[in-house]
Structure 1
Amino acid sequence: MLAIIAPNTDTVPPMQPDSPLPSAPDDTPNAEVLILRLAREDPELGQVAVAARLREFGVSISPSGVRYIWQKHGLETTVKRLQALVDQSNDGLAALSDSQRALLERGTLTAQLARTPTSGREAGGDELLDRRKVILNGAAALFSEAGYDRTSIRDIARRVGLLPGSVYHHFPSKEELYLAVHREGFRRVMEAVDAAIGETTDPWERLRRACEVHVERIVAGSSVDRVTGHSLALTGNHELLSKIRPARDAYEAVFRRLVAELPVTPGTDRSLFRLFLLGGMNWVYLWYREGKHSPREIADAMVEMIRNGVDNL
């Protein structure tokens, strides 16, 4: 976010109705200087209130003019003005009052939920369940980007615009949050696979559809989908892996059943078949580049090469 205060305005004393207007640095209009100072001193004021306050100083500007200045500096909402204060202060969230922190938290949560597809929300749209979903998505993104060891609860809280205590309210530890991400990821992908394969009885078609879901989720799904898929291939923490294993094994059992149904050459090692296919799909996220092949095309090609081979003799 851009700086909340224009150059040199920190030298201007707090605003008093009877104080003289400050000189504008670098030919910046007085109105802009005052609007930016008010954004710091009273970030909860709306554009009408700011325009009225400026009239006390003999500066005439419309509410839409105030909003123009806010937009110019990326401060057009109360949440953005509060977040700017947090970002610029060494005290972080402690720089805000309790009511301001609550307002920032609610506003950030609302913005997060607005970016979440309605179909992906929990049934009933309960606020606590929605907040839990926001935390899961933010945590998954950081686990995927930085890894488990380099991600803290404070990092996750900052990512989703909540206080660390709000995260701990839903998840007692980072480990429990990590496990919850994976349980949720496996639940989602298993539901999607079940829906996809339930539409046909052909064994190869069922496998193909399951693979399409798997690859799609790994490279184009939510953060929860991606980190869950990655962990099928790479999990450096063996203690965590052992705790994830029940959910992972339940998901792999779906592919075990699909492979068991295939009409293949007698003597085929179906276990190696399954592991080879899952391993290939799990590594797609490392080399996938959008635009060349779609996730569905990649999955289809993998299944086709295993089924029919690539020898043209």
Structure 2
Amino acid sequence: MRQPVGPAEVRYSSRAEAPAAGALDADHADAAGGASAVGSESDSDVLDAADLDPFDPPEQRTGIDRATSRALLDLLARLDPDDPERAEARNRLTTLHLPLAEHLARRFAGRGEPYEDLVQVATIGLIKAIDRYDPGRGAEFSTYATPTILGEIKRWFRDKGWAIRVPRRLQELRLSISSATTDLLQQLGRSPTIAELAQATRTTEEEVLEALETAAAYSTVSLDSPEPGENAPSTIDTIGHDDEALEGVENRETLARLLAGLPERERRIIVLRFFRGMTQSQIAGEVGISQMHVSRLLSRTLIQLREGMFR
């Protein structure tokens, strides 16, 4: 993934471009070291309590200047969307809160994706949070931004995880069905029916079935992975390839059918020319027509056969 993070932003390729105040403290660095353990969480997991702890907000753990952040957010809310100062304030807020995006991206570092790509996606979520934040509601920005950033990262993983491109509404409905199935299983003491799942998710039975069918597209298998069993070949070794000899058989069978459908004279000219190797003059003497007539018939018949072969 190498797309810009926004129309007015630049991509930050390293921590060096963020403010000095953005360095993580020792406790945060230790916590980030365990990110691989978080990598196994499901897309439907709730936020970590630490991310929303009012006594230990992310600003303190990431060294963000809260006073500067509040001033810029207030300024952003007052400025007109077309005001050049607004774009500058937006960029400064993105830079200021980049450590928060990096902190949240690090939680997903054990899932096989480059860390800088995770930071890029987290930064997109950060920018969305900046654009949507309303200082008048009284919530701390980090408290508002954290679920927005995590949601952006999780949606990105969900999109990348599907072997076949499945509409996002079906992806999210499938997750809702999974959650509803667990709840109904506990309530009913049995597996829920399609109708019960549709009622729980406020959708139709057809939509539930469609979402359940997409489960087969949710994962991919490496072609280099071995088949089950000892000393088994890899998957790619069991995949067939084009057989030129078989293709030749198919072409001959098709040609034989087309030749059988030709008028007697045209079929005889083709046989004499290509199976007996006779010249057009020899064919003219054999058939009893002029060489020019043989040439015209031969050309027309070959066009007819070629069209039949590729039809």
- Confirm or deny a common fold (TM above 0.5): no
Compute the TM-score of the two structures, normalised by the length of structure 2: 0.29
